[in-house]
Amino acid sequence: MGKDRRKIPPNEQLILHSEVNGICPLCPTVLVYEKNGRNQKGFEIAHIYPLNPLTKEVELLKNEEKLNADLDHGDNLICLCNPCHKRYDKDKTVEEYRELFKKKKDILKRKKEQELWSRTTIEKQIFEIIEILVDQDFEFDDNLEYSPKTIDDKTDGTITLLTKRKIHQNVQDYFFKIRAKFKEIDFVEPMTTEIISSQVKTHYLLLKKQGTNQKQIFEAMVDWLQKQTKQDNREASEIIISYFIQNCEIF
């Protein structure tokens, strides 16, 4: 006899809906739609690994990893639009399972990263750095040279070429300006740079401890800094994190 499916409470459904940003992970369908001036639910909660797998599904997924031993746990649940849920339950493929498994695994990893936000803060003086990045109109010196060796030696294959290029450009354009500003801050409030560097290093180590790869760490560090500083401008956070990669606090 199969296991009874538990009733998913409304608050958990909202959480699962927000995890996929309101879009079906298997197609671009919006999961809540408007009809007659009212929002209508267009999704169902799917078990990534079947709650009561058929014999053919047991065979199909015999070598596949599960996100939780309890198949009715939230780790194994994801929002799908009604047609995709029907197709997935009726005749799923290994590729579809792996796609949903990876999406949910990334969601769970991001939630763990967000849990770290309250554990590592950053000094208020970082706002002075962000202010000059956002508000000042820099004149860039195309002849300014720096050694990219630090970045190239420390990054691995998980850092895409585009991300590495972005880090290089950020360092090329802003490294010396940021360093000079930190020196000004230290002149007024000694040890500020060392404290901020230590906070950045601590958050990096917490992410690394979770087994996060370098590409994910870069994005997570930017998310953390943007959240801590309540900034809309993501580019400023990317520039500062790039600075700390070159400065050896990260990687």
Mean pLDDT, contiguous 10-residue spans, the chain (251 residues): 82 94 92 86 94 93 95 96 93 93 94 86 90 71 59 85 91 91 93 94 93 90 92 91 92 87
Q: How many CB atoms lie within 10 A of CB 88?
A: 21
pLDDT of residue 60: 94
Q: Is 159 left (phi over 0), alpha (psi -120 to 50) or beta?
A: beta
The span from the CA of 237 to the CA of 248, in Å, is 17
Q: Which amino acid is at 92?
A: K
- Show Cβ contacts of residue 53 under 8 Å, excluding neighbours closer than 6 positions: 61
Q: Which amino acid is at 212?
A: T
pTM: 0.71
Angle between helices 234-246 and 126-135 (to 10 degrees): 120
The span from the CA of 40 to the CA of 29, in Å, is 13
Check if the beta carbon of residue 81 is closer than 8 Å to that of residue 43.
yes
pLDDT of residue 85: 95
The span from the CA of 97 to the CA of 110, in Å, is 20
pLDDT of residue 145: 60
pLDDT of residue 233: 84
pLDDT of residue 115: 87
Q: How many CB atoms lie within 10 A of CB 175?
A: 17
Q: Are strands 77-81 and 43-47 parallel, antiparallel or unpaired?
A: antiparallel
pLDDT of residue 11: 93
Paired strand residues for 1: none
pLDDT of residue 46: 95
Residue 217's nearest CA partner among 142, 92, 69, 112 is 112
Residue 88's nearest CA partner among 32, 40, 58, 45 is 45
Check if the beta carbon of residue 167 is closer than 8 Å to that of residue 251.
no
| 78: enclosing H helix or E strand | strand 77-81
The span from the CA of 204 to the CA of 178, in Å, is 20
